[in-house]
Amino acid sequence: MVRRFIIKRLLIALLQLIGISIVVFFMIRLLPADPVARLVGFNASEEAVQQATESLGLHYSSGQQLLNYVGVFSVTGEPGIINGYLGKSWVTSEPILHEVTRFLPITLEMITYALILAFIIALPLGMSSATRPGGAADKFTFVWGLFAGSQPEFWWGILFVFIFFFALQQAGLPHAPAPLGRIDPLLDVPNSITGFILIDSLLRGRLDIFINAAHHLMLPVLTLVFVVSGPIVKMIRQNMIRVIRSDYILYARSAGLPPRKIALYALRAAMAPAMTLTAIIYGFLLGGAVPVELIYSIGGIGEYSIRSIISFDYPAIQGTVLVIAMVSLIIYLALDIVHAMLDPRITF
């Protein structure tokens, strides 16, 4: 059953990806932009423009360009996305796939840690504010949610840089590193294995890099946790309140189950919807963590996509959209499977 469901979902995802790439392909070309001018400058000669247009393949009709991009009936003879080739960047001439695989893990690493941490923090907080509505934990959550959610994350980012880097440094206290990347400029990023710098450095046995990178990741992750935890805590609190008042928890108490077991019963029922929310936030942050990436100069996929858009780098834009969509779909699928394992009422 499960296998059939996964295969079905993957096939649907494939169709979605094809749809997305076609839509994105045409939408970019609908923009009133001139990538050629961007490349050769506005005062370039007729021939230079002509040459640039041809080298970018823009002299073909839109339909032909799409075929070139997809890789069927391609006139250029180059492979297309069906061969797993996303094209070359018009700016750097590097294959898009290389660039994406370099930048994507950076963002993934940051938001994965942030969401795991947010969930770990939100769970006890949500539970304790549900078990004692109006108690200290509940009030704290309320104020926090109000505060954190009402300010944009780049503002918090700047504030955190100010407090934890600048102010603490001025005061001569231990402080966060300067927001200038994910590792000290004097150190080298270890060769990629997983792309996650903390994991790679451990795998390569470089504890110094690990500590340094963790130090650098601290503030960006903290900023994200600070902003996204609010809704997760609220979700867990709401679910928990509903569950605590449910007949089955009352019945569990009337059957004399030990408190630990009752807490597990409640947790199990309250967790599933919160996980869905977490995954939705994850999907959103893939492209939406740009402000945080920029403030801390992380150089992730968000920053890369902004750069591609500004420079009208069509293949790069198409590639990023496609890869982000793919990652989102995989995450949703994984989540649906986990959700179904938690809740037997969900059938495939």
The residue ranges that bind another protein (CB under 8 A) are 244-248, 250-259, 261, 265, 268-269, 272, 342-345
In whole angstroms, the minimum distance from the beta carbon of 247 to another protein comes to 4
Tokens representing 342? Answer: 């938690």
CB of 263 to another protein, least distance (A): 13
Q: For the purposes of burial, counting CB atoms within 10 Å of the CB of 174, is it exposed (0-12), middle (13-18) or buried (19 or more)? A: exposed
**Considering Cα of 99, then 101, then 104, then 110, what sign does the dihedral take?**
negative
Q: Of the two residues 244 and 280, which places its CB atom closer to another protein in the complex? A: 244
Q: Which residues of 120-145 are buried (b: 16+ CB within 10 A; e: fewer)?
A: eebbebbbbbbbeeeeebbeebbebb
| Residue among 139 and 253 whose Cβ is closer to another protein | 253
Q: Pick between residue 22 and residue 264 the one whose CB is nearest to another protein.
A: 264
Question: Rounded to whole angstroms, how far apart are CA atoms 50 and 48?
Answer: 5
Nearest residue (CB) to another protein, 239 versus 328: 239
Residues in the chain: 348
Q: Which CB sits closer to another protein, 246 or 311?
A: 246
- Give least dist CB 245 to another protein, A: 6
C-beta separation of 60 from 309 below 8 A: no
The least distance separating another protein from the CB of residue 237, rounded to whole angstroms, comes to 15
Beta carbon of residue 5, minimum distance to another protein (angstroms, whole number): 16
**What minimum distance in Å lies between the beta carbon of 11 and another protein?**
19
Instruction: Kindly tell me which of 166 and 248 has the beta carbon lying closer to another protein.
Output: 248
- Token output for 311: 């420079």
| HEC assignment per residue over 44-99 | CCHHHHHHHHHHHCCCCCHHHHHHHHHCCCCCCCCCCHHHCCCCECCCCCCEHHHH
